[in-house]
Structure 1
C-alpha cells in the first residue's frame, strides 16, 4: 500500500481524502495556494506545501508545481479529487512518467471518456444509445449549425473537455447557436484550455441519472446504483439523491448493465460515473462519463456502505474488488444538499468573507462534508460550495423528514448562503412527490 499520498486539491474533497487515508494508515500531503494557507486541509494533513499564488492557474492547475511537491515530500501517489486537474489526461500521464501513481484512470482512458465528444464516438461504436447529434467534435460553428438543422432545434452546444456546467449553452435557432458557440467555446478555453465543441439535440425536461462505476485492473466492473441529479441550476447540480424516484427495479438493472458495458468498452479502471438523460417514456441516452470521483459520491456510500475513496486507493494500489455485482445491495435512501456561499435573491451572487458563527447538524445518519470552521475566511477565488449535507434513512419519505430537521440546524453567519433556498426546494410538493426534472428549479424560481 502507498506510504504517502499527495492530494492535488482543496476544500471539502481534500479533507474527505485525508480522512480516508488516515483510516488506511497512509500519510498525506496537502498542497495549497497562498490564499489557502489557513484552510482546513492544510491543518489536517501530515504535511502541507505551498504551490503558488491564489489564481488556480498558478497553483492548483500547475502540473509542474504539484509534481515537484510530490517528489520533494516523497509522496508515491497523487489523488486529484474532483475539478482542477482531476480529468486532465496530461497530468495523469506526467504522473506515470515520474513513477507516481495517479489515483484514477489512465491518461488514455481519460482521453477516450473524459473528452465528451470522443466518449460519444466510443458509445456509438459500442451500440450504446446516445442523444442525436454530431458524431464527435465539430470543426466550427458552421458545421454546428448544419447539424442542428438536420436534427432540429433546440440543441445544446457542449465543450468536449467540459464539466460542472461550464462550456454549455442551449440554442433555439441558428442566430442563438452562433452566439452560444462563441460564448461556450471561449468559456471552455478559459476553464479547461480546450475550446473543442460538439452538438446534441436538447432533450426537454429530462431526468439526469448517473450510475457510479468501480472497476479494478483485472476486468472486474460493478455499478453501485444510480443517483438522481435532476435538481440543477444552469447545469450545476444543487441536490442529489439515491435511489431515484423515477427508476423501477427493472429499469435500474437495464441502465446499470449499459453503464457497465460503457466502462468495459474502454477497459476502464478506478471510479467513474456514467451519466444518462431519461425521458418521461423510460428511454435513456448516454451523455458523458466523468472519469473521477463525483461531488455527490456520499449518497452512493450511504446506500451501499462502500467507501468510494478507499475503493479508489485500493484499485490504484493494484487490489482486486472483493465483491461482484450480485453483492451490491441498495438499502434505504440518501439525499445530499450542496451548501454554497451565495445569495439566491441576488442572482446567486457568490458571498466570500469571514464566517463569524457556525453550527453544523449531527445525529444518526446525518453527515456533513466540509472544510469550513468558525473564523475561516472564504476566499473569492474558487467555487462557492462550502459544505455538503447528506442524510440517510429507511425510505425517501423518512429521508426528507430527516433532511428538514438537519437543515434547520445548519447555521452559517457572516456570509450569505443558499440554506434557506434549499429548505424551500425540499419542501416543495413536487419534490416531495418525486415529480421533478432538470427544469424544475428554473420554473420554481419563476413562481
Structure 2
C-alpha cells in the first residue's frame, strides 16, 4: 500500500487510507463528494497538475478574438494574437493585480487595466504605462512586466487544454489511447468541429466527480432518473437502452468511454440521423477503418477525460416535428468552485461542413435536452445536488457507496479499439479506474 505524502493532516491521511482500502472492492466513502479539506488537496494535487480543457479553436478564429476561461480560480484570457498564435494569459495586471479583461468574450488588440491604466497587447506584452518616466524612472523595463502566460498550453484536434504544472507530461502522453475515442467525433468530418455559440453556464451544488460519473460510467441511472422521458417517447422505449454496447477505460489514465449501440436484433441505418453526405465524407475522414465501423454503428457515444472534461453525442431518431434528424454533440467542463459546488460549462458543437439546416436543428436538439434547462439536464442536476448534500451530513459521510457493478465481468477480447473493454454498459469499471487514478494523484 502506497504511503500518503507528507504535508497531509492526520485526519486526511486516515481518510485517504480508507479510500485506498475500499477502492478495489468497489466501496467508495461518501465523504469524497463533499469534504472541504479534501477539496483543498484536490486543488493542489489534481487540478494544479492536470490538463484542463479550456476552449475549442473555433471559438477564437480571428486575430484578436478571445474568451475568458478558468483553471481552478485562475482566470485566463485565451486569445489569438495578431500573429495568429493562441495564448492563455493570466487576467491579472502586473502592477496591482486588477483584472484587465472585462468581458467573457470579444475581440481586442489590447487590454487596458482600469485601475492605473497599464496597457497590454493581445500577445501579453506591456506597451503602455501612464506617466512612465515620472512614476518609475528611465530604467523601467516594460519587457519584464507582461501578462503571465499559463505554464503549458497544447491542443488536440482543435481542443485547447491548459496545465498549471510546467513539468507536466505532454498533452499527447496525458491523453494516451483515449485519443482513439475522441477521434470518433473530431474526425467524423475532414474539416473538424465548430462551436455553436458561447457556452451555457450554470452553478450546481454538487461535486465535480459526481457530475462526471454520469458521462463516464453510469448508464444504469437511465432506468429511473430519465424514466419520464421514456414514458414520453423522448428516450427509446426499451428502458435498458443504455445497457447495450461497450464500456472502455484506459488503465493508469482515468479516462473512459461508453459506446452504446442498438439493442440485439435491431437494425438501424448507419450514422443514425446524420445527413447522407456527411456519412460519405466520414468514410475517408477517419484515421482507421475500425474507427469508421465503430462510429457508424454507434447510437450514443460518451467520453470523459480525467479530471473534469466530458462529451456526449446521442444519435437521435428522426423527429417529425423538425422534419429530419436531430443528433447533437455537447462538450462539458465540470469546473470546481468549492466543496460541494461546481460551475458547468456546456458547449454545443457540430461538424463545420454540415448543412446549415442541420446545424440549426442540432442546436435546437442540444437546447431541448442538454442545455441548462434541458429535460435530461434537469433530471441529473436535481439528483447530483442531493447526493452531495447527503455526503456532507454527520451520518451520511460515514457510509460507503457501492461501485461493485460488473466487478466480476470479463473484458471483451474482440473489441477493436484500445483500452480495456467490457461488452456491457451496466458496470462501474470506468469509475473504479477513475478512482484509482484519482487516488494515485492525491497520494503523490
TM-score w.r.t. length of structure 1: 0.27
Which one has more relative contact order, counting CA pairs under 8 Å at least 6 apart? 2
The structure with the larger Rg is: 2
TM-score, normalised relative to structure 2: 0.27
